[in-house]
Amino acid sequence: MASAARNTLFILPAFALHAAVVSVPLISLMFFSFTDWNGLATPSFVGFSNFSRMLFDDANFRRALVNNVTYMLIFLTIPIAFGLLMAMLTVRTGRLQVVYQALFFIPYVVSPAIAGKIFMMFYDPYNGIGQFFASIGWSFLADIQYIGNRSITLFSIAFVDIWHWWGFVMVIFVAALHQVDRSLYEAAEIDGATKLQRFFHVTLPQIRPTLLTLITVTIVGSFVTFDYVYVMTQGGPAGASEMASTWIYKRAFSSYEVGYASAMSVFVCGACVMAYWLFQRIRRNSEVMP
């Protein structure tokens, strides 16, 4: 009993901090989502009108959600696949793998704001990387409007985020790969399994917990992505890169519609929870099935 009390005492500070910066603001958020509040004056209760506006009257929010889903699909594929591939190649390099890991991890420590600004220089249609491609005769790359072409703006921003993120994914996979029992590979080899078969029947099942964790993080992260978009385009041009988070930010801090922004935040939070729950159901079902 004394030990339980002592243990409780040890976690109290962390719990208090969590309550102060997560739980209490979350409850406040839910409260303000039902109000018309400009962030300064006394909020007035408006019922579900914020949610109704969000779902039926705000085309920009719906477009932002579509962009979030697109972003999620990009990040569920490219960085995870590339990170795993590079991890598998890196672990075969013996002592040099530490060097490679350090090099590939460097982008992850660069501040997103700085990386965003640097890549906007690369994407400059007049003085950017297009000029370099033109100088070496690669006109097919020189003429690309990375930001100005609205059909690829989001992908141009995603490229920067992937550049930033994939090194971290690779390092996580390297750690997971090191946990795989070598004897499983030996047994598979003895049984005549090809490299591809060893990958699908040994490697993937063994690193499954890590893979599922990364997928979960990616899903949630895709809904809250903000920094690169805000620094580079603020959601433009013409909403091509608008995300739920940037739209919420603008409503809250530029238009004084904190109540409405709270409602959108509640919706996005709920969408994250739903996506996570759905993913966990799929995961559990796939574990149950033979």
Q: Under the rule (CB under 8 A), what is the footprint of another protein? A: 38-41, 120-121, 123-127, 145-148, 150, 230-234, 236-239, 250, 253-256
Q: CA of 221: how far to CAs of 54, 69, 167, 217, 261, in Å?
A: 21, 11, 16, 6, 19
User: Element (H or E) spanning 275, and its range?
Assistant: helix 258-288
Least distance between another protein and beta carbon 46 (Å):
14
Least distance between another protein and beta carbon 257 (Å):
8
Output 124 or 189, the one with its CB closest to another protein.
124
Least distance between another protein and beta carbon 112 (Å):
13
Nearest to 256 by CA among 61, 36, 39, 85: 39
Least distance between another protein and beta carbon 226 (Å):
13
User: Element (H or E) spanning 35, and its range?
Assistant: strand 35-36
Strand-pairing partners, residue 35, are 45
CA 269, 242, 151: angle at the middle one, nearest 5?
Answer: 130
Output 187 or 238, the one with its CB closest to another protein.
238
Output 44 or 213, the one with its CB closest to another protein.
44
**Alpha-carbon span 169 to 186, nearest angstrom:** 27
**Alpha-carbon span 242 to 253, nearest angstrom:** 16
Output 122 or 279, the one with its CB closest to another protein.
122
- Angle between the N-to-C axes of helices 59-90 and 97-109, in degrees from 0 to 180, rounded to the nearest 10: 160
Output 256 or 276, the one with its CB closest to another protein.
256
Least distance between another protein and beta carbon 23 (Å):
19
Output 42 or 285, the one with its CB closest to another protein.
42
Least distance between another protein and beta carbon 123 (Å):
7
What are the tokens at 106?
A: 């460097």
Residue 91's Cβ-count burial label (10 Å; 0-12, 13-18, 19+) is middle
